[in-house]
Chain A
Amino acid sequence: MNHKKIAHLFILTGLSTLMLGLMFGVIGGVQYIIPGFLKGLLDFQKTRPLHVYLVISFIFSSAVGCVYYFLPGVAGRKLYSPRLAFAHWMCQVVILVVVITGFFLGHFSGREYLEFPPALVVVILGGWSLLIFNFFKTMNTRFDHQPVYVWSWATGVIFFFITISEAHLWVLPYFHDNIVRDLTVQWKALGSMVGSWNMLVYGTTMFVMEKITNDKSVGRTKTAFFFYFLSLTNLMFNWGHHTYIVPASPVVKEVSYIISMTELLFIGKIIYTWRQAYKAAKLNYNVMAYRLFTAGDIWVFLNLILAIIISVPAINFYSHGTHITVAHAMGTTIGINTNLLLGCLIYLAFLQAPDLADKYKKYFAVAIPALNISLLVFWVALIVCGVLKSFDMQDKVPFATMMQHLYPWFALFSLAGLFVMLCLSLILLPLIAIFYKSLRV
């Protein structure tokens, strides 16, 4: 089996998990507006982890699939070991089946985002070690002269290993039996883990952009590396804004606040280059992948503004623990990660099966703007929920009354969530058909 087939397996796994994850997300949304919906059969206690785990699996599987696909071309040699890559995929599938079955049966670790029993992390780490080994053996070169996307990929694969290990330090009583340490380390690991998958997604996007625009200089400029190192700094130290209300050392808050403000440089860059970006977007309007990349850029801008606002301690105190945090998470995972990844996958689909992809182009053309409009409604509804909840919390409104106040906004975000799922299905189902057919050829 060659590296392309293995990449297809990862991508098909990712696309399927996203379809399933969206379905559980919509069920979770209904549970917000119809209390007791599927109570006893599939409680929110199960739908939420199923949704979160499956969507995160999509991001990692698809990003890793793209890395396996593009890596040999970048390195100028064959993938070091397709067998190890296949074994990595097998580990991922086994974990997927075990975790989903476990969630249905009610086996949890009770940890935010990584709710599967901790013993399973051994298999995840084992599978990921195969990727690390394969990646560096295939590159087998000094990194100094490599383009920035190779640095991003390398950082992503290393930091996922580090952060998922760190996220399981809680199994040691030294961490578990100290709530402040436990929560702080949990946020630290999760915040940096998001940074690790961002590195994989951005690296792949930069590579595809280089191919679309046929401009090899983009990934090699000093500016590109400056922003890579700034992203790396944020990955390492910009998680603390989640822990402002955890009674850890004030230094955590100060470090995080300073690093958060460096995000203004990203905003400055977007504003400074918007005219150029607009011209390029117009020029490449017919390229479906480019439309998704442009949408991703807009979401980067919106989420950066939101991130900077909620990083100000005085605002964070009121916004944290409200749906504003969910808006930030959804804007990042759907608006940025999903738009960019689907852009990369559509680019790959046109490479693999141009005729078939062209047949589905009309669906992509309808789904891309509809998806982003639905997502904008979803995002705004969550922010409004968060603001209203924050006011109610300050007024010490009882929780049940608070939920009644928020009901219309819950209904709006649930409806918008349903539209997000439908629009994404218009992209995902054709992609599944294309990659499945390519796998069989």
Chain B
Amino acid sequence: MKRRIAFISLMTLYAVYSVWIYTRGTDTVLPMDKKQAKGKQIFEEHNCQSCHQLFGLGGYLGPELTTVISDHGSLYPAALLKSGSGRMPDFHFSPPQIEAIIAYLTYVDQCATTYKNTGTHPGS
């Protein structure tokens, strides 16, 4: 009986905590516009996170991109998106697709307050 009570209590706490995470715990952010959302979709469809990280989530073969716009501006990533590099494939992105990805990365950069408050960037 005690074990069942312990289990049910933990499940209840888990449910309450989950709902809080889904709502107030993560409700402190800039809204994403349509172009940025499109950029996010392209980023996902091409599985960019297998090589790049955003907020530490993703692979390590390529650089972390959370603050790439602050660090390098938009021209440098746009050039890489256009033709790839030694390691990065050329995905043959169209100019509107590149613009959308840059818009998304700009949005991510604007949200990266945890990186900028400390003065150090966990990525290059």
Question: What would 20 more interface pairs be, CB under 8 Å, given A35-B87, A245-B114, A245-B122?
Answer: A31-B61, A31-B87, A36-B86, A43-B89, A45-B51, A49-B47, A108-B45, A110-B49, A112-B58, A143-B4, A144-B1, A151-B3, A176-B37, A179-B32, A179-B54, A237-B14, A255-B17, A317-B118, A394-B120, A402-B124
How far, in Å, is A426 (CB) from chain B's closest CB? 29
Closest partner residue, chain B, to A325 (CB atom):
B56
Is the Cβ of B29 less than 8 Å from the Cβ of A247?
Answer: yes
Is the Cβ of B55 less than 8 Å from the Cβ of A45?
Answer: no
For B, the interface residue count at a CB cutoff of 8 angstroms equals 59
Q: Which residues in B have their C-beta under 8 angstroms from that of A144?
A: 1, 3-4
Q: Which residues of A contact B (CB under 8 A)?
A: 31-32, 35-36, 39-40, 43-46, 48-49, 108-112, 115, 143-144, 151, 166, 169, 173, 175-181, 183-188, 225, 229, 232-233, 236-237, 242-249, 251-252, 255, 317-318, 320-323, 325-326, 392-394, 396-399, 402
Bound-state CA distance A151–B17 (Å) is: 22
Closest partner residue, chain B, to A177 (CB atom):
B32
Q: Which residues in B have their C-beta under 8 angstroms from that of A48?
A: 50-51, 59, 61
Is the Cβ of A108 less than 8 Å from the Cβ of B87?
Answer: no
Bound-state CA distance A39–B90 (Å) is: 10
Bound-state CA distance A419–B75 (Å) is: 43
A-contacting residues, B1-56, CB 8 Å: 1, 3-4, 6-7, 10, 13-14, 17-18, 21-22, 24-29, 31-32, 37, 40, 43-51, 53-56
Q: Which residues in B have their C-beta under 8 angstroms from that of A187?
A: 57
Interface of chain A, main secondary structure: helix
Q: Which residues in B have their C-beta under 8 angstroms from that of A396?
A: 121, 124
Bound-state CA distance A45–B62 (Å) is: 11
Is the Cβ of A399 less than 8 Å from the Cβ of B21?
Answer: no
How far, in Å, is B2 (CB) from chain A's closest CB? 9
**A-B pairs with lowest CB-CB distance, top 7:** A110-B44, A181-B26, A108-B47, A321-B56, A399-B63, A48-B50, A236-B14
Bound-state CA distance A248–B99 (Å) is: 27
Is the Cβ of A115 less than 8 Å from the Cβ of B113?
Answer: no
A-contacting residues, B74-123, CB 8 Å: 86-87, 89, 107-108, 111-115, 118, 120-123
Q: Which residues in B have their C-beta under 8 angstroms from that of A402?
A: 124
Closest partner residue, chain B, to A108 (CB atom):
B47
Q: Which residues in B have their C-beta under 8 angstroms from that of A188?
A: 18, 21
The answer to whether A320 and B56 touch (CB under 8 A), given A110-B47, A399-B124, is yes
Is the Cβ of B26 less than 8 Å from the Cβ of A44?
Answer: no
How far, in Å, is A114 (CB) from chain B's closest CB? 11
| 23 A–B contacts from the bound complex (CB under 8 Å) | A31-B87, A35-B87, A44-B50, A44-B61, A45-B47, A151-B7, A177-B31, A177-B32, A179-B111, A180-B29, A181-B22, A184-B25, A236-B13, A242-B56, A255-B17, A317-B120, A317-B122, A321-B122, A322-B60, A392-B124, A393-B121, A399-B62, A399-B124
Q: Which residues in A have their C-beta under 8 angstroms from that of B37?
A: 173, 176-177
Q: Which residues in B have their C-beta under 8 angstroms from that of A398?
A: 124
Is the Cβ of A108 less than 8 Å from the Cβ of B57?
Answer: no
Contact of A393 among B32, B89, B122 (CB under 8 A): B122
Bound-state CA distance A168–B53 (Å) is: 19
Bound-state CA distance A169–B115 (Å) is: 26
How far, in Å, is B53 (CB) from chain A's closest CB? 5
Bound-state CA distance A245–B63 (Å) is: 16
Is the Cβ of A252 less than 8 Å from the Cβ of B60?
Answer: no
Is the Cβ of A245 less than 8 Å from the Cβ of B55?
Answer: yes
Bound-state CA distance A181–B26 (Å) is: 5
Q: Which residues in B have their C-beta under 8 angstroms from that of A39?
A: 87, 89
